[in-house]
Chain A
Amino acid sequence: MAEIIVVTSGKGGVGKTTSSAAIGTGLALRGFKTVLVDFDVGLRNLDLIMGCERRVVFDLVNVINEEATLNQALIRDKRTEGLYILPASQTRDKDALTQDGVERVLNELSEMFDYIVCDSPAGIERGAHMALYFADTAIVVTNPEVSSVRDSDRILGVLQSKSRKAEQGEQVREHLLLTRYNPARVQAGEMLSVDDVRDILAIPLLGVIPESDAVLKASNQGQPVILDDQSDAGQAYQDAIARFLGEEREHRFLEVQRKGLFSRVFGRKG
């Protein structure tokens, strides 16, 4: 039985797909058989971030409609052992995702994998609802910015009332992943701090991913940023995976990085 993780946010463009790719890859690197499922029907991007866009033949909707088998649609990641991608369709409308269909596909994946990571579309409409409905665990991706925090709180409300777990009287495990964090702007009082966002959302903090040039570079190359272990964002995602798996890791990259001799001598130890 796989654990179903939804990467969700409400607000668009906060880093769900970037984070899904990093988390899926991170779990596979730790030896777990993992599948990344793109629920963003009509606007698929996960294949691009994972660098497998030219290998897409069938997609999630094909499998739901029984036009292809799972094995035909699953793309094996060439870099990371044990990692697969199930792409979303590019053309179809969101109504193609029926609850029964999604459940059937997730049940089948559940027999094959340890983790199913669902990349949710933005919004709180049908597509986002389908992505989170069957989740055991939610990773709520939030930017330190008012509209993102508000939308995260709304998506938490949906998780607490309209998920399968909620309907069964149980709880979806919730994690906060704060992304695009800019310590310099936080220090200047221009950006909500990690503690501000924690105070408001009041859910456990999985990680803080700094605003980083490495993310754009990684997406240009079609390579999840977690594989760039020289980068701050890559290391921050690695820490988040470690915490997800129950290890203790101090939060890094919360302070403005000191440049010069001092930081060079002591490096970037955690």
Chain B
Amino acid sequence: MGILSYFRAKKQTSASVAKERLQVLVAYERSQRNQPDYLPQMQQEILAVIARYVDVSVDDVQINLDEDCSILELNVTLPEQKH
């Protein structure tokens, strides 16, 4: 490890950027792969119900199923309260 390699490490090559992007994307796509077919429809319906009561957008609602489909996690970011 010389001073040269220190400088080299600072500047990211385009190949290392590619690798990082791929790692994130592939991990995400693999997690989606095992989802049951009903999940997208269910996500939409849950979102529709919530939207009936509070002013939320798609991005404010996160619905995740864990690996073996035993826990459904629902995360809703509520809009700021107006007084």
A residues near B (Cβ < 8 Å) are 145-146, 149-150, 153-154, 157, 161, 186, 188-193, 196, 199-200
Contact = CB atoms under 8 A, between A and B. Distances in A.
Contacts of B26: 149-150, 153, 200
Q: How large is the interface on B (under 10, 10 to 19, 20 to 34, 35 or more residues)?
A: 10 to 19
Given A186-B15, A189-B13, A192-B15, A146 B21 contact: yes
Given A153-B29, A157-B33, A192-B18, A200 B23 contact: yes
B19 A196 contact: yes
Interface in B43-61: none
Contacts of A149: 22, 26
6 contacts: A188-B13, A191-B15, A192-B15, A192-B22, A196-B19, A200-B23
B83 interface: no
B22 A189 contact: no
A157 to B, nearest CB: 5
A268 B24 CA distance: 38
A256 B21 CA distance: 26
Interface in B3-21: 13-16, 18-19, 21
B76 interface: no
Interface of B: 13-16, 18-19, 21-23, 25-26, 29-30, 33
Given A153-B30, A154-B29, A190 B22 contact: no
Which secondary structure characterizes the binding site on chain B?
Answer: helix
Contacts of B18: 145-146, 192, 196
A161 B35 CA distance: 12
Nearest to A157: B33
Nearest to A153: B26
B15 A193 contact: yes
Contacts of B25: 150
A193 to B, nearest CB: 7
Contacts of A145: 18
Contacts of A192: 15, 18-19, 22
Given A146-B22, A150-B22, A200-B23, A189 B15 contact: yes
Contact of A196 (B15, B29, B30): B15
Contacts of B21: 146
A190 B19 contact: no
Contact of B22 (A161, A186, A200): A200
Contacts of A200: 19, 22-23, 26
A190 B14 contact: yes
Given A154-B29, A192-B18, A200-B23, 9 more contacts: A150-B22, A153-B26, A161-B33, A186-B15, A189-B13, A192-B15, A192-B19, A196-B18, A199-B23
